[in-house]
Amino acid sequence: MKEKLRIGALISGGGTNLQAIVDACEDGRIDGRMMFVGSDKAGVRGLERAAKHQIPTFVVEYDPIVRHYRQAPEAAGVPSDFDLEEVWRKQHLFDSNADAGRVEAFLTTRAIAEGLLLEQIDAYSIDVLVLAGFMRNLTPYFIDRFNVEADRPRIINIHPALLPSFPGVDGYGDTFRYGCKVGGCTVHFIDYGEDSGPIIGQKAFPILESDDLDAVKRKGLELEWELYPECIQLFAEGRLAVVNMTHTLDNGQMVQRKVVKIVQR
C-alpha cells in the first residue's frame, strides 16, 4: 500500500481550514496524515483543534523576536547560515525603493523565527507543508531550506481571493470593497513573493447585492474547506506538475510564467 502523505501545517488563528484538512485525512478524502501543527501565536483555537486530534503542536512567536532584535540586534541569535544579501536579492516582498533598514530588520528577524520553525519541522520529515491561515510571509531563507528541489515546490497556501487579484492580508475585504460581483479563493504554491506562486486550484462564488462582508467571508470560507483538501489530495497523488510556460504576445513580447499543470490519471 502506498505510504500516506506526511503533512505539516502552520497556522495563526482559528484553524477552520486546518480542521477541514484533518477531517479529510480522517475520512479518506486525503491520503495523508497531519504530523504537526505549528503556530506563530500561542493560545489560538487552531492549536486546540490539533490537540483534540492528538496532533503534536509547537509555537514560534515572532513578536518577541522582533522586540529583542530592536533592543540588541547583535545578540538576536541570527542563524549561522543566514546570508542577508542572498535572501534580499531573491525576495519579492519589497521593491528597490523600500527603506533599507526596514528590509534588513524584516529579513533578519524573519530568518531568526524561520530558523526556529525549521528546527521544529525537521523533527517530522514531512512531504508537504500547508499554510492554513498562517499570517506571515515566509522568506527565501525558509523556502530554500524546505524546498530542497527547486523545481518541486512543497509549501502550499490558501488565499481568500481569486489571485492574482487582491493579494495581502484581507482578500475578502478587498474583494467586497472593490465591488466585485464574484469572489473566490485560491490554493497555490509559495514562491518568493506575496501570494504570487503557481496556482493549483480556485473556486468562485457570486456576490449578491444583498451580501455584506460577513456573507462574503462565509461563502468564501465554505469553499476554502472544499478546495484545500482537494488540492492537497492532488499533491498526494503526484498530479501537480510545475512547468515553465512561455508565450509570445501579438506585439512580439515574451511572457514567461511557472504554472501548475494537473496531470490526468
Query: Applying CB under 6 A, which residues contact ligand GRF?
Result: 11, 13-18, 46, 132-133, 158-160, 221, 224
Residue 188 falls in the annotated catalytic set: no
Residue type, 265: R
Q: Shortest distance, CB of residue 9 to ligand GRF, whole angstroms?
A: 10
Please report how close the Cβ of residue 7 comes to ligand GRF at its closest, in angstroms: 15
Residue 72 CA to residue 216 CA, distance in Å, equals: 44
Give Cα 33 distance to the centre of its chain: 18
**Residue 210 to residue 96: CA distance in whole angstroms:** 43
Catalytic residue from among 92, 159, 188, 247? 159
* Residue closer to ligand GRF, measured from CB, 160 or 229: 160
Characterize 41-80 residue by residue with b for buried, 16 or more Cβ atoms within 10 angstroms of its Cβ, and e for exposed. beebebbebbeeeebebbebebeebbeebeeeeeebebbe
Residue with Cβ nearer ligand GRF (103 or 232) = 232
Inter-residue long-range contacts of 241-247, CB under 8 Å, 24+ positions, other chains counted? 242/151, 242/152, 242/153, 242/189, 242/198
C-beta of 13: minimal distance to ligand GRF in Å? 4
Classified as helix, coil or strand, 45 is helix
Query: Which residue's beta carbon is nearest to the bound ligand GRF?
Result: 133
Of 154 and 203, CB closest to ligand GRF: 203
Q: CB 59 → ligand GRF: shortest distance, Å? A: 15
Q: Which residue has the cell 499570517?
A: 135
Distance CA 82, CA 91 (A): 14
Q: How far is CA 3 from CA 32, 171, 239, 258, in A?
A: 8, 36, 16, 29
Closest separation between CB of residue 173 and ligand GRF, Å? 11
| Nearer to ligand GRF among residue 87 and residue 187 (C-beta) | 187
Judged by CB, which is closer to ligand GRF: 14, or 79?
A: 14
Query: Which positions are catalytic?
Result: 159
